């Protein structure tokens, strides 16, 4: 039982975390057009089936005078991924946190994941992936910006 308790503390530890703590350490920049941190590995647990899903997160933002350390973006992903979660909500929570704390001109979060509730049970389609994205600010208004980010993610 103690092993299971420690595992649950690790897997669901994001419930006790605040992304604002990670995003509070900021640096001033004068001119920076786009920041993209891609291929951030994450693991989460589906709140519907209590089964894992895992994949990669990609975060792009347009700074408005301040940036955050790159590891802080990965820590933000971890904060929200370490909760019972659905991918759609996870994507929005990360975008909202970055938008709130960094106040960028825009933010875009793209997440791609394999869900074991589809690959190991039910329809059993291993290798299928779900892609979600959330846009705020200038990314919401500009198809060209979104297209640019998708192209950079594929590189």
| Catalytic sites, residue numbers | 46-49, 87, 115, 117
| Residue 46 Cα distances to 4, 36, 66, 68, angstroms | 18, 26, 34, 29
Q: Do the Cβ atoms of 90 and 80 come closer than 8 Å?
A: yes
114 SS3 class: strand
Q: Is-contact 129 53, C-beta < 8 A?
A: no
Return d(Cα 126, Cα 11) in angstroms, integer: 23
Tokens, residue 143: 């198809």
Nearest alpha carbon to residue 49 among 87, 104, 14: 87
């Amino acid at each position: 039982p103690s092993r299971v308790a420690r595992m649950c503390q690790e897997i669901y530890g994001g419930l006790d975390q605040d992304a604002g703590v990670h995003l509070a350490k900021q640096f001033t920049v004068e001119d920076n057009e786009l920041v993209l941190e891609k291929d951030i590995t994450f693991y989460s647990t589906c709140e519907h089936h209590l089964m894992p899903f895992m994949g990669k997160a990609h975060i792009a933002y347009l700074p408005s005078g301040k940036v955050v350390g790159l590891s802080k973006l990965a820590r933000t992903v971890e904060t929200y991924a370490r909760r019972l979660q659905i991918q759609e909500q996870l994507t929005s929570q990360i975008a909202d946190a970055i938008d709130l704390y960094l106040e960028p001109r825009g933010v875009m979060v793209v997440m791609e994941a394999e869900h074991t509730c589809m690959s190991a049970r039910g329809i059993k389609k291993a290798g299928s992936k779900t892609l979600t994205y959330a846009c705020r600010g200038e990314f919401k208004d500009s198809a060209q910006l979104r297209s640019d980010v998708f192209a950079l993610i594929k590189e």
